[in-house]
Amino acid sequence: MDILSLFVTVPVLTILFLAFTKNLQQVRMVSLVGMLVQLGMAINLLFAYFKERAVNTDIMVFTKDYVWFESFNIHYAIGVDGISVVMILLTSIVVLAGVFISWKVADLSKEFFISLIVLATGVFGFFISIDLFTMFVFYEIAVIPMYLLIGIWGSGPKEYSAMKLTLMLMGASALLLVGILGIYFNSNADGGPLTFNILEIAQVNIPFAAQKLFFPLTFLGFAVLGALFPFHTWSPDGHASAPTAVSMLHAGVLMKLGGYGIFRVAMYLLPLGAIDWSTFFIVLSSFGVIYGALAALRQNDLKYINAYSSVSHLGMVLVALLMMNKTAWNGAILQSLSHGFMTALFFALIGMIYERTHTRDIQKLGGLLKVLPFISATYVIAGMANLGLPGFSGFVAEMNIFVGAFENADLFRRVATVVVVSAIVVTAVYILRVVGIMLMGPVKNEEFNDLPASTWFERYGVYLLLIPIAGMGIAPLWLSDMILESLTPFIARF
C-alpha cells in the first residue's frame, strides 16, 4: 500500500472496526486509535514530503495511478504537492481534536463516529486525488454524512438546517458536475485522449470559449462550499444546529474543500476563464468579506457569530485566490489553514461553554473568565488569532493576502483590497465585543459559579489546535516556503 492510499484505507478500516464494537468504551478507543494513526501518518507524510521534494522536482510527488474505468479513461490517480500535504495535516489534526471533543457523545455513539470518519475519509480522499472523477466521488462522500450528523445529533431546528445544507451543497455539485464534464470533453483539444487527470489536462490548451463557459460553473460549484456570498446561507444555519465536533470539522476542514477545489480545478485548469471572470467574483467575495463581518457584529448566538466570521474569512481566501499572484495565493492557503485551526478551536470552545451553561446567547453569559479560566483564556487566544494579531497564524496569512492583493497595479483590485482590509477592523470589534460581554465583568448568573472545569479530553482537543495556531504564527517560514514552492506550476499557467 502506498503512503497516500493509506489515508483512505486507515479511516475505512477504522469504520469497519467500529461496526463491530460492542460498547461506548470500545467505540471511543477504536476511533481514537484510528485517528491517532492518521495524525501520525500525516506527520510522517510531511517529513517524507520534504525528503522527496529535495530529490524530486515533479509537480506532484508520491503519485500512483491505477486504471479504474478504462473506456472513460477514469483512473484512481493520487499525488500530493506542498498544498495538499498541509491540508492533510490540517484535516488529521482537526479530526483527532473532533474525536476528543465528542468523547461524551452517548446517543448512538457508534453511528456518530462512523459518520464522522466517513466524512473524514471523503476529505482525505479529496486532498490526495489528482483525477477529477475520483475527486468528485470523494467530495460527495464528504458532504452526505453531514445530513445524518446534523439531523441526528444536532440541536435547534436541526432537520431544517440539515436539509438546507445538504440540498444547497448537492445543488452546487450540479454545477460542479457540469463543469467537470465540460473540462473532460475539452481535454482532447490538442488531439490527445479524453482524460480526467488534472496534470494531463493542465498540459492542454482548452479553447477560450469553453473556459469562459465552464469556469463559472466549476468555480461556483466549489464556492458554495467555500461560503461565497450569496450562497453562504446554509453555513450559519448548519453550524448553529450541528453538534460541536461536526461544526469543527465542517468549518475547519470541509469548507476548505471549496477554496482548494477552486484553486486546483477551476483556476489551474481554466486559467483564461479565471482571468475573464475574476472581476465579477472578486466583487462577490469582497462583498462577502464585509457582509460576513458586519453580520457577525449583530449576532448574539456564539455559533452564528463564528459562522459569519467564517463567511468573512473564507471570503478573503476567495479574494486572495482571484488576485492571481504568488504572495496572495500563499496568503490564501495560509488563511485556509489558519482559519481551519482557529475556527475549529472556536467551535470546540463554544461547545464546551454551551454544554456547561446551556446557552449560546452572549447576553446571558458574563464573567466566564472567573469561573471557566481555561476555556475563557483559550477563547481570548483564539480571538486574537482571528483578528490577526502578530504572533498568531492569522496575522501571517492576512498580511500575505493584503500585500499580494495590493501588488496588483490596477485600481479595481486595489480598491477591493482596501475594502477587504477594512473588514479587519470590524473583525476586531466583533471579537472584542464577545470577549467583553461574555468573558469579562461580573458573573451574571449565580449558577455559573459551580460550572465544572474542563476535562482531560477537552484539554487535549484544545492543545491539539492551539499548537499549530501558535506554531504558524511564530515560525511561518518553513510552511510558506513549502507552499510557495508548490505555487510555481500554478503561476506558470497565468
Q: Residue numbers of the site for another protein (CB under 8 A)?
A: 68-72, 74, 108, 133, 136-137, 140-141, 144, 147-148, 151-152, 158-159, 162-163, 166-167, 170-171, 173-175, 177-178, 181-182, 184-185, 213
Identify the CA nearest to 169 among candidates 92, 233, 126.
Answer: 233
Nearest distance from residue 65's CB to another protein, in Å? 14
Nearest distance from residue 72's CB to another protein, in Å? 7
Using an 8 Å Cβ cutoff, are 84 and 78 in contact? no
* Sign of the torsion angle spanned by Cα atoms 431, 434, 440, 441: positive
Nearest distance from residue 114's CB to another protein, in Å? 11
Q: In angstroms, rounded to a whole number, what is the distance separating the alpha carbons of residues 243 and 248?
A: 9
Q: Between the CA of residue 26 and those of 10, 29, 99, 106, 447, what are the distances in Å?
A: 17, 5, 13, 12, 35
φ, ψ of residue 41 in degrees (nearest 5): -65, -35
Nearest distance from residue 152's CB to another protein, in Å? 6
User: Measured from the CB atom, is 5 or 408 closer to another protein?
Assistant: 5
User: Measured from the CB atom, is 127 or 147 closer to another protein?
Assistant: 147
Q: Between the CA of residue 268 and those of 218, 433, 479, 485, what are the distances in Å?
A: 11, 40, 21, 15
Q: Which residues pair with 66 in a beta bridge?
A: 76
User: Measured from the CB atom, is 25 or 71 closer to another protein?
Assistant: 71
Identify the CA nearest to 297 among candidates 441, 428, 440, 422.
Answer: 428
Nearest distance from residue 266's CB to another protein, in Å? 16
H-type helices in 154-233, by residue range?
158-186, 198-201, 208-225
Using an 8 Å Cβ cutoff, are 213 and 63 in contact? no
User: Measured from the CB atom, is 159 or 276 closer to another protein?
Assistant: 159
Using an 8 Å Cβ cutoff, are 329 and 490 in contact? yes
Q: DSSP states of 44-111 as a string? A: HHHHHHHHHHHH--SSSEEEEEEEEEGGGTEEEEEEE-HHHHHHHHHHHHHHHHHHHHGGG--TTHHH
User: Measured from the CB atom, is 75 or 232 closer to another protein?
Assistant: 75
User: Measured from the CB atom, is 84 or 166 closer to another protein?
Assistant: 166
Nearest distance from residue 7's CB to another protein, in Å? 16
Q: Which helix (H) or strand (E) holds 43?
A: helix 24-55
Nearest distance from residue 70's CB to another protein, in Å? 6
Nearest distance from residue 113's CB to another protein, in Å? 15
User: Measured from the CB atom, is 102 or 166 closer to another protein?
Assistant: 166
User: Measured from the CB atom, is 173 or 400 closer to another protein?
Assistant: 173
Nearest distance from residue 336's CB to another protein, in Å? 25
User: Measured from the CB atom, is 122 or 468 closer to another protein?
Assistant: 122
Q: Which residue has the cell 493509506?
A: 6
